[in-house]
Chain A
Amino acid sequence: MSSVTLHDVRFIEPERTRNYLNVDYGVFSWLLTKDHKRIGILYMFSISLMFILGGFFAMMMRLELLTPEGDLLTSDTYNKFFTLHGIIMIFFFLIPSIPAVMGNFILPIQLGAKDLAFPKINLLSWYLYMIGAFVGLYVIITGGVDTGWTFYTPFSTQYSNTHVFGTTFGAFIVGFSSILTGLNFLVTIHRMRAPGLTWYRLPLFVWAIYATSVVQLLATPVLAITLFLLMFERVVHVGIFDPALGGDPLLYQHMFWFYSHPAVYIMILPAMGVASEVVAAFTRKKIFGYKFVAFSSLAIAFLGFLVWAHHMFVAGISIYSAMIFSFLSYFVAVPSAIKVFNWTATLYKASVAWMTPMLYILGFIGLFTIGGVTGLFLAALGLDVHVTDTYFVVAHFHYIMVGGAVMAYFAALHYWWPKITGRMYPEWWARLSALLVFVGFNLTFLPQFVLGYLGMPRRYHAYAPEFQVLNVMSTAGASILAVGYALPLFYLIWSLRFGHKAGVNPWGAVGLEWTTSSPPPKENFHETPVVTWDAYDYPAMLKAMGETQNV
């Protein structure tokens, strides 16, 4: 691809040596920074550590499940490991991943803004995240927690003798980080768009982050209230959720899922935004049905609030309310389907470059589709009775959250890496990692659908012997997956020193982030950009490039 003219065409940007990375040095220039780009990097560091930690727990579980007997870990340790795996991956990795890293770094640049609306609050968000993370690490070091990431009562409030209070307190604090980030993004998108950047000219990533932020702002406070009540009941023994004290355990589940279902969309909406960016860039085409894709993000955000009780079809809710929640759950599937179809249609008569970010996103579309259609099984009431709380559910949500959100995070990482660091990653190795992740992922989680339908319940330390073959396959897949995830750690760090210089626009993509130098200057642009073209308007860009070329 490198031999081709278009690829080499770049916006001519005066070569400046000063960028956000070298304007100043020293620990405090990072720890006290108000630059959204540096804060994005701080998040990238912290969530990467969390990802490694959460991955370690996952790997230990998969090793334990190689044999039917519980022989590698004790039951209590196993229970703590799946709890910590869930809590770390959801609250400390997936929820902040794309929004807090890529949203922080790229969103203001895509808007043509100098920074977020509230830079100090942005830094505060990171500190809240870190405080929550340290509380979480303290819990891990002092003995862990064994409630499952769902903290169901009355187990969590009366029966568990592990660090429930510390863990929920950590999650409670991280919640505020998420709320403030969402607020910051919303205000920024409303108030700080560059001249000419109207709503329909916004990149779809911005639309997705907008929808995500609405959910973060509206749903997370409910989590905070729920966790607060849980801590209160655990410590003071007032009856809110515990029936022995006159409370109602189902009330807890309603409140928990009122946040935690929308939280799924906090994780997947930004991933969909990345998918739109990458598909456009690597097909050199406007996303087919731009407005449908944009509004489907908002539709998902809205409908996502109306389906929480589909996690409770066997929990003891009335059959009539179950019916309504099943019905509404099918509604939320429609906008997701719209996106998949539109991405696919965009490939028609496109110019498809098989580069790493695109490979990750093609994988994302496939895995997200499988995750989505298996959701249709779970929304079917009579079928859910059999498959809920089994490995079928485990496989389903890993397809959405790992096959979907994590794949998209890696796509984003590779796509914007040249912009963030000014260096290209090694393409061959990156393609290999994308391939390994895809193959390893499917080998890990496809067998789990079968296991679930066979009836293997989730959160089982030991299991019936006839489930072993499928479990061994799953563990083998997890090992491949681990290699796939570990590779980028090495070659990305390697690229910081040895990677090719990226230049302004290595992909020949459109979007304001590809008009400023890589890495960008501290203030993002040397002059405030004026937007005269639609999102993904390749003809207009070519014209603009033609002009600059003639200079």
Chain B
Amino acid sequence: MLISDFPLFPEQGSTVAGQVDALFIVLSVITGSVSILIFLLIFILAIKYRRTPQNQLAQDQEPPQMLEAGWIGIPFVIFMGMFVWGAWLYFRLARIPDNALDVYATGKQWMWKFQHSTGQREINTLHVPVGRPVRITLASEDVIHSLFFPSFRIKADVLPSRYRTMWFQATRTGRFHIFCAEYCGTQHSGMIGWVEVMEPTDYQKWLAGGSEGSLASQGEKLFQTHACNTCHTNDATARGPVLVGLYGSDVTLGDNSVVKADDNYIRESILNPQAKLVKGFGPIMPTFQGQVSEDDLLKLLAYIKSLGGAPAPSPAGTPQKEQRR
């Protein structure tokens, strides 16, 4: 058997992989040496002071009580170091670079569907360019799944209730595993695939291969077939608000509260329009819950995003709590 058939450490495929591994290795060294120290101590003491005819009863001497303060204080300080490092890394994983490429993923019992903003769709395979941050917007059509890229050291649960985002920047070309990490029923262990990391030029070639038009243009068609355009004419006097420039802007609601128009707000506006009424409009928009699939919803989202918006979209990865009411 080749050694490559029997890996003991995962490949590093993304910019954060090395950082996660660094924390892992440092923690292993610290906890490993403390554990070995404890084991040795137990072993040595238990042998040295084993019961013999001469050693029938423990001797009176105790180790000094000062020890107590030491082994409460020192571990605590070390633990706090671990906490800070771990939290710092988590924040890094949550901060999505600005120039990220957008990809949309839907989890469904039991497959992963990926849609690119250029309109390509693929199942259980994801093509991405090397060296460029990729942001994935995630949705589930049924139960909770979890999109896991072991070589990139990231995963995120995929919820049926709202969008989540994750990102990575691949550092080398090749094929890497995609796993579903949250148990989701019969074929959970079959909900796997590959991410193909390509040279940018190869990626461009791959993109040039056929598609049914960009995701936004597909969304625009849906916008017409679902008759959204009858109300959202992009005219200030229309029955529905203007959607141009909406994405990422602040929306004032009927009760004068202000919300940010991020992915989850737009999702909710379509699936449950009565939840947050835009100031100056009545509850006339019908609900599209159950009528638009998650894939189509993502296309509509891509279309609305393409209509332009406030410069910096919400720091995705800072998961907004969904407010259903």
Interface residues in A470-509 (C-beta closer than 8 Å to B): none
Cβ of A383 and Cβ of B27 under 8 Å apart? yes
Q: Which of A331, A348, A366 contacts B63 (CB 8 A)?
A: A348
In contact, B190 and A386 (Cβ under 8 angstroms): no
In the complex, besides A344-B38, A351-B58, 12 extra interface pairs with C-beta distance below 8 angstroms are: A6-B57, A154-B144, A244-B290, A334-B75, A349-B58, A349-B59, A377-B24, A382-B86, A453-B24, A454-B8, A457-B181, A462-B190
User: Using a CB-CB cutoff of 8 Å, which residues 180-237 of chain B contact chain A?
Assistant: 180-190, 192
Closest 4 CB pairs of A and B: A382-B89, A455-B150, A380-B86, A381-B90
Q: When the two chains form their complex, are residues A330 and B79 in contact, meaning their CB atoms are under 8 A apart?
A: yes
**Consensus secondary structure, chain B interface:** mixed
Partner of B89, one of A148, A316, A381: A381
A340, A370, A460, most chain B CB atoms within 10 A: A460
Q: Does A319 contact B (CB under 8 A)?
A: yes
- The one of B35, B39, B180, B324 that contacts A457, using a Cβ cutoff of 8 Å: B180
Per-residue CB contact flags for chain B residues 158-199 toward chain A (1 = under 8 Å, else 0) read 011110100000000000010111111111111010000000
Residues of A near B65 (CB, < 8 A) are 289
Given the interface pairs A334-B79, A389-B181, the reply to whether A249 lies near B51 with Cβ below 8 Å is: no
Return chain B residues, CB-CB under 8 Å to A389: 146, 148, 155, 181-182
A-side contacts of B189, CB under 8 Å: 70, 75, 457, 459-463
- The distance in angstroms between the C-alpha atoms of A59 and B47, with both chains bound, is 36
Cβ–Cβ contact B89 & A288, under 8 A: no
Check if A351 sits within 8 Å of B57, measured CB to CB.
yes
B90 and A322 contacting across the interface, CB-CB below 8 Å: yes
How many angstroms from the CA of A369 to the CA of B9 in the assembled complex?
23
Decide yes or no whether B10 CB sits under 8 A from chain A. yes
Alpha-carbon separation in the docked complex, A292 to B1 (Å) = 52
Partner of A538, one of B57, B72, B184, B187: B57
The answer, yes or no, to whether B41 is at the interface (CB within 8 Å) is: yes
A79–B185 CB distance below 8 A: yes
Residues in A with CB closer than 8 Å to B89 are: 380-383
Across the interface, A383 reaches (CB within 8 A) one of B23, B75, B182, namely B23
Q: Is A530 close to B, CB under 8 A?
A: no
Tell me whether A540 is interfacial, beta carbon within 8 Å.
Answer: no
CB neighbors of B among A434-463 (8 A): 450, 453-455, 457-463
A222 at the interface (CB under 8 A from B): no
Is B101 interfacial (CB-CB < 8 Å)? no
Max count, chain A CB within 10 A of own CB: residue among B62, B68, B89, B144 = B144
**Contact yes or no, A386 B188, CB < 8 A:** no
If the complex has contacts A318-B319, A341-B67, are A453 and B10 also in contact, measured as CB distance less than 8 A? yes
> What are the residues of chain A within 8 A of B146 when measuring CB–CB?
314, 389
Which residues of chain B (1-50) have a CB below 8 Å from chain A?
Answer: 1, 5-10, 19-20, 23-24, 27, 31-32, 34-35, 38-39, 41-42, 45-47, 49-50
Minimum Cβ distance to chain B for residue A472 (Å)? 11
Task: Knowing A159-B185, A314-B156, A454-B150 are in contact, say whether A380-B23 is a contact too (CB < 8 A).
Answer: yes
Does B322 lie at the interface of the complex (its beta carbon under 8 Å from any beta carbon of A)?
yes
Contact check, A330 vs B80: say whether CB atoms are below 8 A apart: yes
Residues on A with beta carbons closer than 8 Å to the beta carbon of B318: 318-319
Q: State whether the Cβ of A199 lies closer than 8 Å to any Cβ in chain B.
A: no
Establish whether residues B35 and A317, one from each chain, have CB atoms under 8 Å apart when the complex forms.
no
**By the criterion CB–CB under 8 Å, are A380 and B148 in contact?**
no
Main secondary structure of the interface of A (DSSP, over half): helix
Residue A347 is within 8 A (CB to CB) of chain B in the complex: yes
Name the CB-closest residue of A to B53: A4
Indicate whether A243 sits within 8 Å of B160 (C-beta atoms), given known contacts A351-B49, A376-B27.
yes
Which chain A residue has the least Cβ–Cβ distance from B59? A349
Is the C-beta of A71 less than 8 angstroms from some C-beta in chain B?
no
B281 at the interface (CB under 8 A from A): no
Q: How many residues of A contact B (CB 8 A)?
A: 95
Residues on B with C-beta less than 8 A from A318 are: 318-321
With A249-B144, A326-B83, A455-B151 known as contacts, the answer to whether A76 contacts B9 (CB < 8 A) is no
Query: Residue of A at shortest CB range from B158?
Result: A316
Let me know if A233 is at the binding interface, CB within 8 A. no
Which B131-154 residues have a C-beta within 8 angstroms of A? 142-144, 146, 148, 150-151, 153-154
Indicate if the CB atoms of A249 and B161 lie closer than 8 Å.
yes
A248 to B146 CA separation, bound complex (whole angstroms): 17
From B58, B83, B154, B157, residue with most partner A Cβ within 10 Å: B58
A-contacting 9-mer, from B91-99, B115-123, B306-314: B91-99
For A349, what are the chain B residues with a Cβ–Cβ distance below 8 Å? 49, 58-59, 61-62
Q: Are B38 and A340 in contact (CB under 8 A)?
A: yes
Q: In the bound complex, how far is the Cα of B31 from the Cα of A369, in angstroms?
A: 9
- Answer yes or no: B284 CB below 8 A from chain A CBs: no
Task: Give CA–CA (A99, B63) in the complex, Å.
Answer: 32
- List 10 A–B pairs whose Cβ atoms lie within 8 Å, in order of A's numbering: A6-B57, A284-B57, A285-B58, A319-B90, A333-B79, A350-B49, A354-B50, A385-B93, A386-B153, A459-B189
Please tell me if the beta carbons of B45 and A352 are within 8 angstroms of each other in the complex: yes
Residues of A within 8 A of B27 (CB): 376-377, 380, 383
List which A238-254 residues lie within 8 A (CB) of chain B. 243-244, 246, 248-250
- Residues in A with CB closer than 8 Å to B238 are none
- Do B144 and A152 have beta carbons less than 8 Å apart? yes
A341 to chain B, nearest CB (A): 4
Contact A330/B82 with A249-B144, A373-B35, A469-B6 known, Cβ cut-off 8 Å: yes
Partner of A316, one of B56, B86, B91, B157: B157
In the complex with contacts A159-B109, A386-B154, A376-B20 CB distance below 8 A: no
* B324 contacts across to A, CB distance below 8 A: 246, 248
